[in-house]
Amino acid sequence: MALYSEKVMEHFRNPRNVGVIEDADGIGEVGNAKCGDIMRMYLKIENDVILDAKFETFGCGSAIASSSMATELIKGKPVAEAMKLTNKAVAEALDGLPAYKLHCSVLAEEAIQSALNDYYQKHPEKKS
């Protein structure tokens, strides 16, 4: 049995939404180099809708695949909906992760929440 599902490997090999958004409305970062995983998310938001999402990740295969899948799942979604993205949804969309890699999907969820919190902080009027 392979370490990862086909879906994980496909997203790891061809990660979607890699890069930086220079004029991002929200930037979030979670993890630390000591533990071996860092995710940085950039969001472009207009009229409470996530127009674009990009990421940079230092980490293992599942961390990269989780970042890729999480950005795919929130692109085009209203901010309120993106805020509800769970690690479970990320892991399920990847056809599962090995148990000891589930924290990678948790990181992806937290990275998005961190970026959205940054957006709310910059636009306090949006938080209802």
Partner 1 sequence: MKIYADNAATTKMSPAAVAAMVECLEKEYGNPSSLYALGQQARERLEKARGEVAAVIGAEPEEITFTSGGSEADNQALRSAAALGKKAGKTHLISSAFEHHAILHTLAALEKEGFTVTLLPVHEDGLVRPEELEAAIREDTCLVSVMYANNEIGTVQPIEALGAICRKRGVPFHTDAVQATGHLPIDVKAQNIDMLSASAHKFHGPKGVGFLYARRGLRLTNLIEGGAQERGKRAGTENVAGAAAMAAALKESAAAMEKNAAHMSVLRDRLIEGLKEIPHSALNGDARKRLPGNVNFCFEGIEGESLLLLLDDRGISASSGSACTSGSLDPSHVLLAIGRVHDVAHGSLRLTIGEDSTEEEIDYLIRNVREVVEYLRGFSPIWRDLMSGKKEFIL
Active site residues per annotation: 35, 104
Per rule CB under 8 A, is residue 11 in the interface with partner 1?
no
- β-partners of residue 46 are 49
| Nearest alpha carbon to residue 91 among 60, 66, 73, 110 | 66
Per rule CB under 8 A, is residue 97 in the interface with partner 1?
no
Q: Which of 5, 10, 16, 18 binds partner 1 (CB under 8 A)?
A: 18
| Nearest alpha carbon to residue 28 among 118, 126, 107, 90 | 118
Q: What is the nearest approach in angstroms of partner 1 to the Cβ of residue 109?
A: 17
Looking at the Cβ atoms of 65 and 116, the one nearer to partner 1 is: 65
Q: Which of 11, 43, 57, 115 binds partner 1 (CB under 8 A)?
A: 57
Q: Which residue in the block uniquely carries the two structure tokens 């207009």? A: 46
Q: In what order do the strands lie in the sheet with 37-46?
A: 26-32, 37-46, 49-58
Q: What is the nearest approach in angstroms of partner 1 to the Cβ of residue 92?
A: 21
Q: Which of 36, 76, 92, 95 binds partner 1 (CB under 8 A)?
A: 36
Per rule CB under 8 A, is residue 61 in the interface with partner 1?
yes
Per rule CB under 8 A, is residue 53 in the interface with partner 1?
no
Cα–Cα distances in Å, from 92 out to 5, 11, 38, 64, 76?
11, 13, 21, 15, 20
Q: Which residue in the block uniquely carries the two structure tokens 């148990």? A: 99
Q: Which residues bind partner 1 (CB under 8 A)?
A: 9, 12-13, 15, 18-20, 29, 33-40, 55-61, 63-64, 100-101
